[in-house]
Amino acid sequence: METAFELAPAIVLLPLAAFVVALLVGEYMPKKGALAGIAATAGSLLLSLYVVAAVATGGEHQETYFTWAAGDAFSETGESAIEFTFGILLDPLSALMLVIVSLIAFLVHVFSLGYMNDEGETGLRRYYAELGLFTFSMLAFVVADNLLMAFMFFELVGLCSYLLIGFWFRTESAPSAAKKAFLVTRFGDYFFLLGVVAIGATFGTLAFQGDNSFVAAASDAIEGGEPLFGFEPRTWVTITGLLVLGGVIGKSAQFPLHTWLPDAMEGPTTVSALIHAATMVAAGVYLIARMFGYYALSPTALAIIALVGGFTALFAATMGVVKDDIKQVLAYSTISQYGYMMLGLGVGGYVAGVFHLMNHAFFKALLFLGAGAVIVLMHHEQNMWKMGGLKDKAPVTYYTFLAGALALAGIVPFSGFWSKDEILFDAILVGLNEPIFLVAYAMGLLAVFFTGFYTFRMVFLTFHGEPRSEAARDPHPVGWNIKFPLLTLGVLALVAGVANLAPVYKLTGLEITYLEFWLDGQYGGYADLTYTAYGDTVPFGTEYIAGSETITLLIAAGLGLGLAVAGAIFAMVLYNVPEPEPHTENLGSARTVLRSNYYQDEYQVWIAENLSLPLARTADRFDQSVIDGVVNGVSSVSLFGSSRMKRLQTGVVTNYAALMIVGFIALLLVLGVLGGWFV
């Protein structure tokens, strides 16, 4: 067990080694660095499983490897020293996430052999190097044991996604999408940084776990009731929590900072799979789960998380309905699904949120890799209206994609159903007690219908009906390196729900909610990072419809499943025909609004041009005139003064003698006056 924890740093460092190898000698390797990446991520995956086994047998681990700054600091709660360290924290949550990230990264590497190498892409050395660095940053973020380290790797994840989205940097759109992703997430990260500084300055510690963690310190401060920076402790916790949430909203593409994500489709599809399933976007929600104890202290912050999540879920799902590009549909589904996770976490459903994070990682990676396979089949065509009829020609792709679609739509018994149902169940329980959450629940519930609809619209347009283009009639074959990841993830999308069959437990009493036990530290883990500990802190009450848990459960599950099936059937009626019509055109002006993404880009550009730019101009003018004026004034005064003063140096020795004498007499007089000679 100890060996597993001692080896844990290797999980993080192996992809870093792959990055270095691919960067230095990738050009001379047979697959341009892919093999190094595959070996490293496979190693990470095995070691992660080992760590999971160690945690499952009652272990947990926290170790500081490197203190890079330590010193005295003044903090609001009286803590007088602060340390900035690199360390790892291995508990059920991070162990689970390690497996998810390394598994997806491994499969993406394998898939890249088929998607990038076999398609004759150039720049593969750069591609695999960046992929390795990306995996490294995410893994390091996952195991981080303090907020500052998490922030640093959060930023590195952002940098890597910038590099990979802009992989085809010779096109016009990719660099602009990369820049957009970088800037929009950076806008959120700015608040995150403020939050880190605020938490550090308040509590004098940034550790996630233990008695000297900022969570414990915040809890003590709330009990003590001493004001922090002039605020009620709970208000201050809310403020700092919301600052950190800014980074989460940027990275996890929540409203209003979601606009970068659809554009990020400009990167290779494999990169999209990695970004959406396991790394970049998952980082935001993972951060909330990581410091859930902190958010649990603040009902306001939780309510905001839930409302933002519920709104984003619905908002993004409606936009997904009218997209024609297969990757665009998936992009909006990602935004929407992360909205669900936020909703789940916001209502205190820690297990539900993490469960959906896990399931989503599997089925979204599957769907993106499936879309990648479709793009290969279609000779790099992404418009769904030019596809059709791929069902019989590519059965492996079709059935795995279908499994992913059923999971995404949330249809029983696929994994997505179980986690989405749990989120909505948690939301309705809290919502019945506190009506504000009912709004978030209603938006999440409505989004289920749209999810079912757009998912199956995509499936039917892509795979069913008659082929609508030359490429669809004669698809390009795909190799094992594409089929293997698809099959692995297809099986996972089907069975991953078994991890936490909460409704079955509640109906029959069978104790099979393994993920809940896992996250509750029943196999191993820190007592302060368990579901029970969070549950005790979260201040929401719950209520049941008609006072019965069973009835509520059945109603919630029935509503969710019914709407998902209704959406799917609606899509089937409209699009499962040999020659489907573009029915969304009947939506008229609503379609225009949806196609323009609710004018989100436009209003953000408007804000940038009409508010930020004039503000920046004013600031610039202030800088140029007032600040520079003062500086220049000082220098011209001294220039002018010295140009007069230097006239003293006449070069005539007699004048110098006279000056010396005058100076001496003046000195004598001054000394005399001060010494009181003339009194």
Partner 1 sequence: MSVGIEHYVILSLALFCIGLFGVLTRRNALMFLMSVELMLNAANINLIAFAFYHGNLTGQVFALFTMALAAAEVAVGLGIILVLYRNFRDVDVTVPSAMRW
Query: At closest approach, how far in Å is the CB of 649 from partner 1?
Result: 5
Task: Yes or no: say if 439 and 557 are a contact pair by the CB < 8 Å rule.
Answer: no
Q: Extract the tokens encoding 197.
A: 């500084």
Q: Which of 650, 672, 673, 677 binds partner 1 (CB under 8 A)?
A: 650
Q: For partner 1, which is the closer residue by CB, 67 or 650?
A: 650
Q: Which is nearer to partner 1, 65 or 640 (CB)?
A: 640
Minimal distance in Å, beta carbon 671 to partner 1? 19
Q: How far is the CB of 638 from partner 1 (least distance, A)?
A: 16
Dihedral of CA 422/262/438/350: which sign? positive
**Which span sits near partner 1 by CB under 8 A: 324-332, 541-549, 562-570, 654-662?**
654-662
Query: Would you count residue 69 as binding partner 1 (CB under 8 A)?
Result: no
Mark the segment that binds partner 1 (CB under 8 A) among 30-38, 78-86, 541-549, 652-660: 652-660
- Shortest Cβ distance from residue 674 to partner 1 (Å)? 24
Listed residue (484, 309, 330) closest to 400, CA to CA: 484
Give the per-residue contact string, 597-636, with partner 1 (x = CB under 8 A; - = no).
Answer: ----------------------------------------
**How far apart are CB 641 and partner 1 at their closest, in Å?**
14
Binder to partner 1 among 392, 654, 676, 678 (CB under 8 A)? 654
Query: How far is it, in rounded angstroms, from Cα 484 to Cα 459?
Result: 21
Q: Least separation, in Å, of the C-beta of 636 and partner 1?
A: 19
The residue range among 323-331, 396-404, 587-595, 645-653 that interacts with partner 1, by the rule CB under 8 A, is 645-653
Q: Does 639 bind partner 1 (CB under 8 A)?
A: no
3-state DSSP helix/strand/coil percent for the chain, to nearest 5? 75, 5, 20
SS3 category, 38? helix
Closest CB to partner 1 among residues 546, 653: 653
CB of 655 to partner 1, least distance (A): 9
In this chain, which of 661, 667, 668, 671 binds partner 1, going by CB under 8 A? 661
- State which residue, 611 or 666, has the beta carbon closest to partner 1: 666
Closest among 101, 65, 98, 62 to 84, alpha carbons compared: 65
Residue of 547, 578, 579, 646 interacting with partner 1 (CB under 8 A): 646
Label residues 128-145 b or e (16+ Cβ within 10 Å = b): bbbbbbbbbbbbbbbbbb
Choose the binding region for partner 1 from 86-94, 232-240, 498-506, 648-656 (rule: CB under 8 A): 648-656
Print the SS3 string covering 127-165: HHHHHHHHHHHHHHHHHECEHHHHHHHHHHHHHHHHHHH
- Cis peptide before 582, with omega less than 30 degrees from 0? no
- C-beta of 80 vs 643, nearer to partner 1: 643
- Candidates 477, 651, 675, 676: give the one binding partner 1 (CB under 8 A): 651
The 3-state secondary structure of 261-313, one letter per residue: HHHHHHCCHHHHHHHHHCCHHHHHHHHHHHCHHHHHCCHHHHHHHHHHHHHHH
Q: Which is nearer to partner 1, 652 or 674 (CB)?
A: 652
DSSP state, 610? Answer: I
Task: Tell me how far apart the alpha carbons of residues 274 and 37 are, in angstroms, rounded to a whole number.
Answer: 14
Residue 120: Cβ within 10 Å count: 7
Q: Is 485 helix (H, G, I), strand (E, B) or coil?
A: helix
- CB of residue 670 vs partner 1: minimum separation in angstroms? 20
Of 170 and 647, which has the nearer Cβ to partner 1?
A: 647
Q: How far is the CB of 663 from partner 1 (least distance, A)?
A: 14
Among 2, 435, 639, 647, the residue binding partner 1 under the rule CB under 8 A is: 647
Q: Work out how close the CB of 658 gets to partner 1 at its nearest, in angstroms, rounded to a whole number.
A: 6
C-alpha closest to that of 387 among 397, 377, 401: 377
Angle between helices 326-346 and 435-463 (to 10 degrees): 160
Using the rule CB under 8 A, which residue among 605, 631, 649, 673 binds partner 1? 649
CB atoms within 10 A of CB 576: 17
> Minimum Å distance from CB 652 to partner 1?
5
Beta bridge partners of 83: 70
652 interacts with partner 1 by CB under 8 A: yes
**What does the alpha-carbon distance between residue 360 and residue 467 come to, in Å, rounded to a whole number?**
30
Rank residues 183 and 658 by Cβ distance to partner 1 and give the closer one.
Answer: 658
Of the candidates 363, 271, 361, 371, which has an alpha carbon nearest to the alpha carbon of residue 327?
371
User: Which range touches partner 1 (CB under 8 A), out of 129-137, 262-270, 508-516, 655-663?
Assistant: 655-663
- Provide the minimum distance between the beta carbon of 653 and partner 1 in the complex, in angstroms, as a whole number: 5
Stretch that binds partner 1, among 40-48, 364-372, 567-575, 644-652 (CB under 8 A): 644-652
Helix (H) / strand (E) containing 590: helix 589-595
* Least distance in angstroms from the C-beta of 666 to partner 1: 15
| Least distance from partner 1 to the Cβ atom of residue 678, Å | 19
CA atoms within a 13 Å half-sphere pointing along the CA-CB vector of 185: 28
Which listed range, 144-152, 279-287, 653-661, 671-679, lies at the site for partner 1 (CB under 8 A)? 653-661
The residue among 70 and 666 lying less far from partner 1, judged by its C-beta, is 666
Amino acid at 101: V
Q: List the one residue out of 95, 112, 126 whose CA is nearest residue 38.
A: 112
Nearer to partner 1, 510 or 665 (CB): 665
In this chain, which of 69, 639, 653, 679 binds partner 1, going by CB under 8 A? 653
Contact set for partner 1, span 497-556 (CB under 8 A): none
Kindly state the greatest CA–CA separation across the chain: 118
Nearer to partner 1, 225 or 651 (CB): 651
Give the span between the Cα atoms of 281 and 104, in whole angstroms. Answer: 13
Contact status, residue 361 vs residue 624, Cβ threshold 8 Å: no
Residue 446 near residue 452, CB atoms below 8 Å = no
Query: Which of 577, 657, 668, 671 is in the footprint of partner 1 by CB under 8 A?
Result: 657
Minimum CB distance to partner 1, residue 651 (Å): 3
Number of residues near partner 1 (by CB under 8 A): 11
Q: How far is CA 644 from the centre of its chain?
A: 64
Per-residue exposure over 204-237, b if at least 16 CB sit within 10 Å of its own CB, e if not:
bbbbbbeeebbbbbbbebbeeeeebeeeebbebb
Residue 646 Cβ vs partner 1, minimum distance, rounded to whole Å: 4
Which range touches partner 1 (CB under 8 A), out of 164-172, 583-591, 601-609, 641-649?
641-649
Task: Yes or no: say if 229 and 76 are a contact pair by the CB < 8 Å rule.
Answer: yes
Residues 6+ apart with CB under 8 A from 274: 104, 105, 108, 131, 134, 135, 164, 280, 365
Does 658 help bind partner 1 (rule: CB under 8 A)? Answer: yes
Residues engaged in binding partner 1 (CB under 8 A): 646-647, 649-654, 657-658, 661
